[in-house]
Structure 1
Amino acid sequence: MEQALRALDLCVVVDVAMTETARLAHYVLPASSQFEKTEFTLFNFEFPTNYFHVRAGVLPPLAGTLPEPEIYTRLAVALGLLPGDNVLGPLREAARRSRTEFAAAFRAFMGENPSAVAVGALVLYHTLGQTLPDGTAAAAPLWNAALACAKRSPQAVRRAIGASDEVADHQLGDLLFDTIVAARQGAAVTRHDYDEVWTLIGYSDRKIRLVVPQMLEWLARLDPQAADAPKEFPFMLAAGGRRMFNANQIFRDPAWRRDDPDGAMLINSNDLDALGAKDGDWIAVESSVGRLVVRCKVDDAMRNGQLALPHGYGQAYPAPDGERLVNGPRINLLTESGNRDPIAGTPYHKNVAVRLALVPAHEAAAHQSQSERIHMSAPAN
């Protein structure tokens, strides 16, 4: 991926920080952080009641930053993909007058401008969005979703938002949308009866399709022998394990990790003894495409020949002296993209064939020194 990005004639990245991806770009368009813009949260843990949360910004954006919808809208206008205010202005004025008038104008506009369908969300952001309260313009594309939800499950929407019988079905979508946008603690969008669950299945016979022919054909061709580790790479590495303090890569500050600061590789004690290393040593992990030096940690819950490394490490962070150092293993350097699921194309991150090797004393010392610098700890006596 890094080679592909470097090979581009033009690479533009939208990001909230100077990340590894941003550093590969010719231009970086700085976005506002999640505290400075409208974003959404949607979970279905409370079924049969479903909630949607429009989270408005709580802080003013930093100078020079914009929310992503504004960035993409300006780019789309500049590229000629989205009409300017001379065309969209009347739609915005219709939205200010009434939702009914806007709905008619929007449908007419989209019918007359089929090329705008691909950027319909930006049309809504630039028109209806500018009339929404509390800086929630980014929520405008939810309008179509609210209309569709109310049309599909009118009774569930009525229960959720407490709509009276006086509210006509064709008004439910707008009422649902306004409820979602106005609520700052999240809003119930549907409340189902369990007898209604089967109506949520899209097939007319309300049966779930369990048979996926392409998957069954693929499973029939699987050869268990082919899954064995090759002789030159006798260990199988599960790359990308979840641990206590690596849930989110945005937490770059190593001080946030109260355990496992180096992202150690878990290994069975028998395998470590056979290698001639001990718990806490730095050892090399090599796949067919890459090499990492990692700290090892004995874990006899691992089977012989099985290894594990966590995700969320391998990012640059400034040491106390300002130099940017890589904190922990960059596990994707071991990933061979051709060794992948033939249906989805996802590399086998949890089944990476590798070999282990001792590292020279000077290389181990360099990694130990880097670890101490980035974690601001004194060298061991």
Structure 2
Amino acid sequence: MPLVQTSYLRPQKERFSPVAGARIISGLIPSNVVAEEILTDHPARYRAMLVESSNPAHSLADSPRMREALQALDALVVIDVAMTETARPADYVLPAPSQFEKWEATFFNLEAPANYFHLRRPVLDPPPGSDLLPEPEIHARLCEALGALPDLTALRQAAAEGRTAFAGAFLTAMATDPALAAVPEVALYRTLGPTLPAPAAAALWAQAHQVAMRHPDAVRRAGVTGDDLGEALFEAILSNPSGIHFTVDEPGDGLRRIGTSDGKIHLALPNGLGLGYPAEDGVSVLTGAPPNELTSSDARDRFAGTPWHKHVPARVEAV
């Protein structure tokens, strides 16, 4: 689970993390090097983290070392819907509405090669008197407080004229304004967002155009047609309550890569168990085993830092 991400709209030169020298791919660093980037006296070490909807204190390899790293940060800010193992030691916790109280995008990829994308509407109102903010609003306010947003007046005016006019204005601004190019998602949220039924869906507008440009045949097979295929795909995502699905590639049979003689996996310990939850007496109770108490952050491939969690040596003993 990568924890550091940069914009999909900005071109990326080959970069490496400052301490571990891990390759940064598409703006992502390998999660298994996060602790290394913190627990050091290197002058460029990571000193602060913003963790959103993630629980690295539990879900990443070598949980004890990850907890040590999080506690060593100068500042830890967590955006989440629950007081997770990572949120508890945080300096600031910014609570967000649950998935039932806000617009949410969901990917269903368990029916390969058919992959479903669904933009879900809220089904509940936030609790009365609640000051919870959806994540895009939190990010926008942080950028505004930091003075990171340029003047968006022209883009707001273009958005009011329609998405065709906005497209030209946005692309021109992206090419000429470095400050805007640094925060395109927030700019879309604050300009195009208010014209949409779901302001947070504004970032999907650019992605829909990218998908239509790269995979036009797949989009057409899904029943999406039009002279402007990207705009048609975005409109279909907004208006279709059952979601949009299409197939881009035919995946190979992953089971063929299993090296056992019978092609089966003999032992598996699922991730997601071992979370602490307070009982009636307030004492935290674990349900199941937290597997990352046993894994090592060193067990990763040398190219992208992908964890080798499918190849962890283990000894099984009868109890």
- TM-score, normalising length from structure 1? 0.55
Question: Which structure has the larger Rg over C-alpha atoms?
Answer: 1
Question: Is the Cα contact below 8 Å between 2:77 and 2:92 reproduced in 1?
Answer: yes
Q: Unaligned stretches of 5+ in structure 2?
A: 1-65, 253-264
- Contact conserved, 1:92 with 1:130, CA < 8 A, in 2? no
Deviation at 1:77, TM superposition (A): 1.7
Amino acid at match of 2:235: D
Q: 1:100 to 1:324 in 2, by over 3 A?
A: same
Q: After superposition, give the CA deviation of every residue in 1:239-273 in whole Å (9 maximum; x if it has no partner).
A: xxxxxxxxxxxxxxxxxxxxxxxxxxxxxxxxxxx
Residue 70 (str. 1) matches residue 31 (str. 2): no
Shift of 1:106: 0.9
Please say which of residues 39-48 and 64-73 is displaced more in the overlay.
39-48
Query: Which SS does the other structure have where 1:21 is aligned?
Result: coil
Residue identity matched to 2:178: P
Task: Please state how far the C-alpha of 1:312 moved relative to its aligned partner.
Answer: 2.4
Instruction: Kindly provide the amino acid, as one letter, of the partner of residue 342 in structure 1.
Output: R
Paired AA for residue 69 in structure 1: P
Question: Paired residue for 1:39?
Answer: 104
2:245 is the counterpart of 1:185: no
1:351 aligns with 2:299: no
The one of 164, 169, 194 equivalent to 1:105 is 169
Count of residues in correspondence between the two structures? 238
2:309 matched to 1:330? no
Distance 1:19 1:341, change over 3 A: same
**Identity over aligned residues, as a percent?**
52
Alignment of structure 1 residues 110-149 onto 2, 5 Å: 110-133=174-197, 136-149=198-211
Q: Distance in 2 between matches of 1:59 and 1:341?
A: 43
CA apart distance, 1:311: 3.0
1:73 is displaced (CA, Å) by 1.3
Distance 1:141 1:72 in 2: 13
Amino acid at match of 2:131: G
Could you tell me which of 277, 301, 318 is aligned with 1:317?
A: 277
Q: Indicate the residue corresponding to 1:379 in structure 2.
A: none
Contact in 2 for aligned 1:12/1:27 (Cα 8 Å):
yes
Which residue is 2:158 aligned to? 94
Q: Shift in Å at residue 333 of structure 1? A: 2.0
Tell me by how many angstroms 1:55 deviates: 0.8
What is the DSSP-based 3-state SS (H/G/I as helix, E as strand, rest coil) of the residue aligned with 1:54? strand
Q: In the alignment, is the contact (CA less than 8 A) between 2:224 and 2:232 conserved in 1?
A: no
Equivalent residue for 1:11, pick from 58, 76, 84: 76
**Does 2:141 align with 1:61?**
no
**Amino acid corresponding to residue 312 of structure 2 in structure 1:** N
What CA RMSD, in Å, does the superposition of the two structures yield over aligned residues? 3.2
**Structure ranking higher in strand proportion:** 1
Mark the CA change 1:89 to 1:184 in structure 2 (over 3 Å): closer, same or farther. farther
CA distance in 2, matches of 1:156, 1:18: 41
Residue 5 (structure 1) shift: 0.7
Alpha-carbon contact 1:53-1:186 (below 8 Å) kept: yes
Q: Which protein is richer in helix relative to its size? A: 1
The CA deviation at 1:90 is: 3.1
Contact 1:335 1:347 survives alignment (8 Å): no
Alignment of 1:364-375 (within 5 A): none
C-alpha distance in 1 between matches for 2:87 and 2:240: 35
CA offset at residue 128 of structure 1?
0.8
Which SS does the other structure have where 1:338 is aligned? coil
In 2, are the aligned partners of 1:95 and 1:127 still within 8 Å (CA)?
Answer: yes
Which runs of no fewer than 5 residues in structure 1 stay unpaired? 199-207, 209-300, 359-381
Q: How far, CA to CA, are the matches of 1:191 and 1:42 in structure 2? A: 13
Kept in 1, the 8 Å contact 2:77–2:90? The answer is yes
Residue 81 (structure 1) aligned with residue 145 (structure 2): no
Between 1 and 2, higher relative CO (CA 8 Å, sep ≥ 6) is seen in 2
Q: Which secondary structure does the structure 1 equivalent of 2:94 belong to?
A: strand
Instruction: Tell me how far 1:355 sits from its aligned partner.
Output: 9.3
Kindly tell me: are residues 146 and 341 of structure 1, through their superposed partners in 2, closer, same or farther at Cα, counting changes over 3 Å?
Answer: closer
Structure 1 residues 279-309: Cα deviation after superposition (integer angstroms, max 9, x where no partner) = xxxxxxxxxxxxxxxxxxxxxx97xxxx764
Say if 1:150 and 1:351 are closer, same or farther in 2 by CA, change over 3 A: closer
Counterpart AA for 2:133: L
Partner amino acid, structure 1, of 2:211 = C
Q: Residue type matched to 1:27 in 2? A: Y
Give, in whole Å, the separation in 2 of the partners of 1:155 and 1:111: 29
